[in-house]
Structure 1
Amino acid sequence: MENPIEVTIHVSSEKLGKGLHCFLENKLKGLREEGLSYLTYFSEKHLSISCQFSSNDNIFSRIVEELRHHLSLFLSEYILVHMEKEIVKRIIIQDFYYSEQTEIEGILRYAEHFLKSAEEFGESSELQRMGRQCKIYKKLFDFFERERKVVLEGFIRFRLKEYYEDLVRVVEHSIDEYILEREYQEFIQLLRYFVSIQESKTPIVHVVHLKDRLFLLYDGNFHPIHVKELDECLTDLLDHNMNMDDLIITTLITLAPEQMVIHTGEKDHHVITTMRNIFEDKVYLCLSCNSCSEVIHNHSRISRNHFRP
């Protein structure tokens, strides 16, 4: 029997230690079939996990490299699956100095979304996840060539710089999105208040959504509505660089309808969502009716009241 190899993993909390110990126990079971004996122990006093490995003389030298590979693989998986959320949270608090729980949780939700669906970064989520795990695995594999003791959180912070910087980049993107969403909600509340203090000027407005950001406006008799002048307060509020989304919203607020019927086949379209958020219980959603079907069929003949970038 060769001298056993002992690997010690230091952690920062009892919860992390117990979780990692249980995870390693389950993963290491498969190595017994390869002739490897092992013993693991979690010390609550020292917050460390000790793993002792031994095998028969004739195969132990061969299995050392495999052990190094498996430990690196198991730890990289654990970091990615079970620790990444807490690492991201720590980055939000320690690197970007957020302390309000509501803000931390809001940014964290965006970060989790971006880490799971990586379209924003131009690659598949699975490919990105595998890329992050490969970076962790390589660093651990190189580390275990010479070392048998690892302080896990310190290793992540100082040895996994490339991985850590990837997470910082995700957090930066998440903060940008969180701030934009917060500003959007504040703006929606302001417009909602503006609508609530207005007297109704139009009994009913039909909004026909043709495609993308192309909308047609009609009165209660389905006659086209043409707005000659927009509300000056609103145009100042929306600033001088209004996009076409702003323009349709401003027009509707200027018309101040008592009721609004939105005819659309895309009820979750972002402009439709904004209309519903602002006008709330004034809005009725129509997914299909004879009137809007006829308008959509003949929309090429109508141009004067189009809203399109």
Structure 2
Amino acid sequence: MFEILFESPKEAETICSIFRSICKENQMKINQDDPESIQLLSKKWDESVEQLIIRGIIHYIIEHKEQEVMLSIIQTHFYFEDHEEQQQILHIAQSIIEGDRSEIPQIQKFQHRETYLKEALQQFLRPNLSFSFHSFFTFRLQEYLKRLQRYVEVAIEEYKLEQEYQNFIQTLRDYITVTASKLDAVKIHHDEQFTIYNRAGIEMSENELKQYIDTSFIKKQPHMYIDCELLAPLVCISPKKIILYTDEPDAGMNQTIQNIFQERVQIFPKSQSLNN
């Protein structure tokens, strides 16, 4: 018999339900004589461990424990007390885990966290074992817990960058709101690079664009975000309308232009550009 002890009836019942959902009756017998423990009986131990016990415990940890652990890390290790901030960081961490932010350099060599869980369980489980799930989770999953902490660290870095970016965007929005428009409209053609044209469709030279730049304002802005070829003159011109020709409206700079100028931006495919 294989037995797992839990800290609460609710925890025992949850994982018991998981085992029942993935187990066929002829594979394993599941008992719950005590509300805070479950007993598993199987004739084929190796098969049961791989297909049922490990699978069920991993499912329980990922679906029912992982968020709780990461939230605790956010609170106790990094001292984020605001609920909204905690949830935003947690959301970023989850998106990193799910592979939605694979462009982040720090995580490109991360093993999937299921690997750590599976290895720990394979090394620990054996027939006729009775163990505390809490003790196993606390002391046997150190590599997994370290990986979760690393996900949280990267999520916090991303959260801070996003906050900095949003503050930057808001600063530029405020600037164009109080700055008189120096041109009614400009047209931007985005191919591999960006080219700015005036309303008549005449390309604006680099020197012409630089004449519009408010250097005292631009020098105060983070150099990692603003450039003197496109964004700086565009913000300082503060046109009432921007017509953007692009086939990549979700590209980084295109998104930034839309975020700053909002309803002032009209987007069309390159095929409709002023060169046609």
Aligned partners of 2:46, 2:272: CA distance in 1, in Å?
A: 72
Equivalent position of 2:220 in the other structure: 237
Q: Post-superposition shift, 1:98? A: 1.6
CA-to-aligned-CA distance 1:96-149 (integer Å, 9 cap, x gap): 22221111111111111111116343369xxx44xx323223322333338834
Q: Post-superposition shift, 1:21? A: 1.9
Aligned partners of 2:157, 2:199: CA distance in 1, in Å?
A: 42
- Contact kept, 8 Å, 2:176 with 2:236, in 1: the verdict is no
CA-to-aligned-CA distance 1:23-75 (integer Å, 9 cap, x gap): 122233x2x325x54423461xxxx2221527xxxxx5xx3454454423321
Equivalent position of 1:297 in the other structure: none
AA partner of residue 72 (structure 2): R
Structure 1 position 39 matched with structure 2 position 35: no
Equivalent position of 1:181 in the other structure: 162
- Contact kept, 8 Å, 1:195 with 1:253, in 2: the verdict is yes
Q: Post-superposition shift, 1:162? A: 0.8
For residue 108 of structure 2, the aligned residue among 114, 117, 122 is: 122
Counting only pairs closer than 5 Å after superposition, residues 1-309 of structure 1 correspond to structure 2 as 5-11=1-7, 13-28=8-23, 30=24, 32-34=25-27, 36-41=28-33, 43=35, 48-53=36-41, 63-69=44-50, 70-117=52-99, 119=102, 120=104, 121-122=107-108, 128-129=111-112, 132-145=113-126, 148-211=129-192, 214-225=193-204, 226-229=208-211, 230-239=213-222, 241=223, 245=227, 247-288=229-270, 290-294=272-276
- Contact kept, 8 Å, 2:186 with 2:199, in 1: the verdict is yes
- Counterparts in 2 of 1:200 and 1:38: CA distance versus 1, 3 Å: closer
Aligned partners of 1:8, 1:221: CA distance in 2, in Å?
A: 76
Normalised to the residue count of structure 1, the TM-score between the two structures is 0.76
Q: Post-superposition shift, 1:9? A: 2.5
AA partner of residue 220 (structure 2): L
Which protein has the bigger helix share?
Answer: 1
- Contact kept, 8 Å, 1:37 with 1:53, in 2: the verdict is yes
Cα RMSD for the two superposed structures:
2.6
Q: Which runs of 5+ in 2 are unaligned?
A: none
Normalised to the residue count of structure 2, the TM-score between the two structures is 0.85
Aligned partners of 1:42, 1:26: CA distance in 2, in Å?
A: 20
Partner secondary structure for residue 33 of structure 1: coil
Partner secondary structure for residue 244 of structure 2: strand
Q: How many residues align?
A: 267
Which segments of structure 1 move beyond 6 Å, counting only runs of 4 or more? none
